[in-house]
Structure 1
């Protein structure tokens, strides 16, 4: 299978590291023109350097897309895309009874409303052209809502509802809308979370990550954390011409954590 994005314009939000960076790297390698995004100019510049430096097919946008103002600036600067990957997200454990309204609002604005605003802005032109791809990066936590991150699981479940509903709204237009559900994935954020245990035990990061999966996601079939590139592979496929019959789907890259055959 030859996945080719030549001539396609792609936006990957939250793409200066982790899954988003791996997806942006994959799109570039397959011929797309890509806009990456991070909250600061420094992070965008560093990611651009890691992707090979300034080039005609790569641009960056610095701004917190969890805010309405940054979304408006982005849309004004880049009014059209063929592929939108709503990857931006925040996570972090916090007990339900210690999570204030402000934190619920922050997670909702960042994880949900960023994708809503951008899909609302970019989908109509995709539909007019008869081709487009919108991908929401959800999580297995949308289904296995973690007891220590209920506020996070709530936002990931919301993404599934939006992606399914929007796929139905865009029926027959040639625009597909899907959600990708990673399981535990060894991104920079997860590595930072596990760093104290790596330092305490002297074990490798991969070993500590596997132990974390065993302790907290015991149903995992692969019995390890996924690599960011493994998740990016699914994002690239579902964004391709070859995935034209896949829409309204929740596509799991969870290593078998969700104990269900469908």
Structure 2
């Protein structure tokens, strides 16, 4: 495919592994000048080398100093994909107020910091794409991880507000909302809990059972990082020039909604 982004500068936060790396890989393959972001120099540099990225930006986006360092290293960004975030497996009884605050800082304010640093330049140049990586739990939360799911809802909400603010500028703001995606950490988690759920021993058995019992969907499996990257690719392409303030769900039908 040709997304017509050759020469566009793209920053994908949290792209030193997993979903972010897959997004960075697709954008680089399409000719974008991709900046790989992470907090570990070795990991980020390895991904950058593998995909032919144009640079690496290291910094903790939950701090102003970290965001400043990343923005300076990234330069004039045309495409911002806010993917970086954090989550744990705490529930209402054990997630403290401090946990809520730290998760909000990592998942919401971090995105705001990068928007504030990157979007003004997009406005001036009259073209830009801002994409939040959200999730279906933003609109259909479960009992567990209330602090995490609340931050997903905030990411969805801020993307729409930003779209309204960017009206007529040539810059769009949208959300890609993944379901359960097969990255290394998810595979490790499911494999570790499979015995207690009676999900079998082979990965094929475990994945099918998890897609049935844990994250029910119409496809019967977990999503792949490349499928999320493809949705990001659509949103940065000319084909999505008329898409603003939208949420594109890539979840196999996990979310049961007619709107």
| Structure-1 residue corresponding to 2:232 | 235
TM norm structure 1: 0.92
Tell me the distance in 1 between the aligned counterparts of 2:194 and 2:58.
32
Tell me the distance in 2 between the aligned counterparts of 1:227 and 1:121.
30
Worse-matched range after superposition: 152-161 or 62-71: 62-71
Tell me the distance in 1 between the aligned counterparts of 2:204 and 2:160.
34
2:84 counterpart of 1:80: no
Tell me the distance in 2 between the aligned counterparts of 1:212 and 1:178.
29
2:173 counterpart of 1:172: no
Tell me the distance in 2 between the aligned counterparts of 1:43 and 1:11.
16
Contact 1:107 1:152 in 2 (8 A): yes
Paired residue for 2:255, among 248, 251, 258? 258
| Structure-1 residue corresponding to 2:25 | 25
Q: Helix, strand or coil: the match of 1:98?
A: coil
TM norm structure 2: 0.94
| Structure-2 residue corresponding to 1:5 | 5
- 198 and 215 in structure 1: CA distance in 2 versus 1, 3 angstrom threshold: closer
2:211 counterpart of 1:213: yes
Contact 1:12 1:20 in 2 (8 A): yes
Alignment of 1:116-135 (within 5 A): 116-135=112-131
2:245 counterpart of 1:244: no
- Aligned residue pairs total 257
Tell me the distance in 1 between the aligned counterparts of 2:131 and 2:203.
29
* Alpha-carbon offset, residue 192 of structure 1: 2.3
Worse-matched range after superposition: 67-76 or 180-189: 67-76
Please list the CA deviations of residues 115-167 of structure 1 after superposition, one character each: whole Å capped at 9, or x if unmatched.
10111111111112111000000001101112111111000000011000000
Tell me the distance in 2 between the aligned counterparts of 1:171 and 1:192.
43
Tell me the distance in 2 between the aligned counterparts of 1:46 and 1:14.
14
When the two chains are superposed, the root-mean-square deviation of aligned CA atoms in Å is 1.7
Contact 1:186 1:209 in 2 (8 A): no
| Structure-2 residue corresponding to 1:222 | 219
Tell me the distance in 1 between the aligned counterparts of 2:252 and 2:70.
34
Segments of 5+ residues of structure 1 without an aligned counterpart are: none
Tell me the distance in 1 between the aligned counterparts of 2:195 and 2:60.
32
Q: Helix, strand or coil: the match of 2:5?
A: coil
* Alpha-carbon offset, residue 105 of structure 1: 1.5
Please list the CA deviations of residues 89-130 of structure 1 after superposition, one character each: whole Å capped at 9, or x if unmatched.
112211112101221122111111111011111111111211
* Alpha-carbon offset, residue 66 of structure 1: 2.0
Please list the CA deviations of residues 148-198 of structure 1 after superposition, one character each: whole Å capped at 9, or x if unmatched.
111110000000110000000000101000011000110122122123146
Contact 2:3 2:236 in 1 (8 A): no
